[in-house]
Amino acid sequence: MFLVDTIKSLKPNIVVVLNIIKLNATDSTNTYLKLLVNKTNVVDQTVVLAEDQQRGRGQMGNGWLSRKGQSLTFSVFKSFKGVMAEDQFMISMAVSLAIINAFKTFGLPKVSIKWPNDILSGNKKVAGILIENVLEGATVKYSVIGIGINVNEMEFPSLPQASSLKLEIGKSLELEEVLHAVLKNMFDKFELMTTQNFSDLRNVYEQNLFRKDIVSVFENKEGQHFNAIIKGISGIGELLIETENKAIEPFQIKELKLIY
């Protein structure tokens, strides 16, 4: 079912109109939206929202637990002009920062980004992001941005590092209110991207990195543990860590795991 919502942007006197497709259930909102893009001309900033997402995906093929009526699971179609392929991590930074800004308006404490794009409150994960970019030549043509948010869940069996907005804030939230806050902040960030470069976004993103400048334990792809310090991210979005020999080394997501 196609519905049209009007969402006020953070900028005064500007209104963003977008299509919201609301589904009772689907395996994955990202998969649904990608199939829709291949079959039809999808309007920019179209949102696919599932009341029940049964096979949500996270980074590196990980699953995403969501509960009907308690979680938000949605995907956003966003077209881009002028975002170079080598700068595509700008999209991830913009989305992560938009979610953080939205969560702060609800009073979420100690909110941060666990690289590359998990959103934490303290050391508990409350939201995850999966971004799939489609390139055209040397630029990003469009992105399908999947977001899962634990809003009102109270229990996470076998997931000790997971939490919800309700658990961390101490009260229930309206799902629609959280959705609109995230979308409003996200589209505002995308608007700002037209005047920002990679370094501008990176500076703010790094200020919100989980465990930045703190000695942490990491696991490499061989399963070995070692101590290092997160220093920031590279020009293509790799995690920069300072090892025990004081060398700064870049790592991609499949090469490193933060143990916390």
What is the DSSP secondary-structure string of 103-138? HHHTT-SSEEEETTTEEEETTEEEEEEEEEEEEETT
| Dist CA 233 CA 259 (whole Å) | 18
Residue 208 DSSP class: T
pLDDT band at 168 (very low <50, low <70, confident <90, very high): very high
Q: What is the pLDDT at residue 54?
A: 67
pLDDT tens digits, 155-165: 998 899 999 99
CB 257 within 8 A of CB 213: no
pLDDT tens digits, 97-146: 999 999 999 999 999 999 999 999 999 999 999 999 999 999 999 999 99
CB 90 within 8 A of CB 193: yes
Q: Which of 59-63, 196-200, 223-227, 230-234 has the lowest mean pLDDT?
A: 59-63
Neighbours of 51 (CB within 10 A): 16
HSE, side-chain direction, 13 A CA sphere, residue 113:
25
pLDDT band at 52 (very low <50, low <70, confident <90, very high): confident
Q: Give the distance from CA 238 to its chain's centroid.
A: 16
Q: What is the pLDDT at residue 53?
A: 74
CB 218 within 8 A of CB 259: yes
**Options 2.60.40, 3.30.70, 2.30.30, 3.90.1570; which CATH number does 215-259 get?**
2.30.30
pLDDT band at 215 (very low <50, low <70, confident <90, very high): very high
Q: Which two tokens stand for residue 159?
A: 């997931």
| Dist CA 30 CA 63 (whole Å) | 13
Mean pLDDT for 240-245 is 95
How many residues are there in the chain? 260
Q: What is the pLDDT at residue 63?
A: 52
pLDDT band at 69 (very low <50, low <70, confident <90, very high): confident
Is 215-259 in the same CATH topology as 2-207? no
Question: What is the enclosing helix (H) or strand (E) of 100?
Answer: helix 89-105
| β-strand partners of 75 | 48, 146
Mean pLDDT for 208-222 is 97
Q: What is the pLDDT at residue 42?
A: 95
CATH architecture of 2-207: 2-Layer Sandwich (3.30)
Q: What is the pLDDT at residue 62?
A: 53
**Has residue 249 got a pLDDT over 50?**
yes
Mean pLDDT for 220-243 is 96
Mean pLDDT for 191-211 is 95
| β-strand partners of 152 | none
| Dist CA 45 CA 79 (whole Å) | 8
| Dist CA 33 CA 246 (whole Å) | 45
| Dist CA 33 CA 43 (whole Å) | 11
pLDDT tens digits, 88-105: 999 999 999 999 999 999
Q: What is the pLDDT at residue 9?
A: 41
pLDDT band at 57 (very low <50, low <70, confident <90, very high): low
Q: What is the pLDDT at residue 35?
A: 96
Provide the residue ranges of all domains of the chain, joining segments of one domain with +: 2-207, 215-259
Q: What is the pLDDT at residue 259?
A: 95
Q: What is the pLDDT at residue 134?
A: 98
**Taking all residues of the chain, what is their mean pLDDT, rounded to a whole number?**
90
Q: Which of 29, 133, 106, 33 is nearest to 72 (CA)?
A: 29
